[in-house]
């Protein structure tokens, strides 16, 4: 008889917590010190004024939202380079990759995505493969939507080789108010498409350099979703790269 009984609904509170976890994106670990500091400041401010306490709470909530790291599902189709960041496609043009990577000084198609302070700021791997080089270069903090930001601003460049043998270059670029680039991958790491590899604080840009023969699938002014939006279709066979 017990086999015909309906399944127990469980604890309503536990169910509500589960729904909240599925709805509210998790936070990148880099944001924890800022959020905990905001909470502490909010408690102090509330001692002096409830209004200041509300302001502190709102600021803390906004900080937590900035560091959100939502789950993403990459496309099932192979042979794609997906967006490394959420944001707006600001430039599609040919450009020479950062010289610190040691690549030939030959132009490649570059797709630039500008991130406003309201976008998700974690960066994601554009394709599965192996990290070959990681190079950081200090620089200026010009507005990230300017053309010369790719050359002049502080940046962290990553060269990876996909499972099909293609070279992809992803560059994290600091913006006007960004003062910290975090990269969590190292040379030799095996990485999966869509995996989070870093974050930029607070407003920035991400450049993706494609191998010759790639077919760009986005347009200038289009919004991208990191880890999901196909940026380009890679050539069927690797060209001579480097």
Q: Tens-of-pLDDT digits for all 242 residues of the chain?
A: 444 444 445 676 665 555 545 556 676 666 666 667 777 777 877 788 888 777 777 777 666 666 777 788 899 888 999 999 999 999 999 999 999 999 999 999 999 999 887 888 789 999 999 999 999 988 666 655 556 666 777 889 999 999 999 999 999 988 665 557 888 999 999 999 999 998 887 668 899 999 999 999 999 999 999 999 999 999 986 654 55
Catalytic residue set: 204
Contact indicator for 224, 84 with CB cutoff of 8 Å:
no
- CA–CA dist 62, 39 (Å, integer): 12
Name the token pair of 151: 């050359």
Q: From start to end of 119-162, where are the E strands?
A: 122-124, 129-137, 155-162
Q: What is the pTM of this model?
A: 0.77
């Amino acid at each position: 008889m017990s086999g015909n009984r309906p399944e127990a609904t469980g604890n309503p509170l536990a169910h509500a917590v589960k729904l909240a976890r599925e709805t509210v994106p998790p936070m990148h670990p880099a944001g924890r010190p800022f959020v905990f500091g905001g909470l502490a400041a909010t408690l102090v401010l509330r001692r002096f004024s409830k209004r200041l306490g509300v302001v502190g709470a709102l600021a803390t909530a906004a900080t937590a939202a900035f560091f959100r790291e939502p789950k993403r599902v990459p496309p099932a189709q192979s042979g794609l380079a997906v967006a490394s960041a959420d944001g707006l496609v600001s430039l599609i043009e040919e450009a020479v990759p950062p010289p610190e990577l040691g690549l030939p000084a030959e132009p490649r198609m570059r797709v630039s995505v500008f991130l406003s302070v309201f976008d998700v700021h974690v960066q994601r791997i554009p394709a599965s493969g192996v990290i070959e080089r990681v190079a950081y270069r200090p620089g200026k903090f010009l507005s990230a939507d300017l053309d010369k930001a790719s050359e002049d601003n502080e940046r962290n460049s990553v060269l990876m080789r996909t499972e099909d043998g293609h070279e992809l270059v992803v560059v994290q670029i600091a913006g006007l108010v960004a003062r910290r680039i975090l990269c969590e991958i190292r040379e030799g790491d095996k990485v999966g498409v869509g995996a989070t590899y870093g974050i930029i604080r607070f407003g920035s840009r991400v450049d993706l350099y494609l191998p010759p023969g790639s077919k760009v699938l986005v347009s200038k002014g289009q919004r991208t979703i990191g880890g999901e939006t196909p940026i380009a279709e890679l050539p069927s066979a690797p060209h001579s790269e480097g």
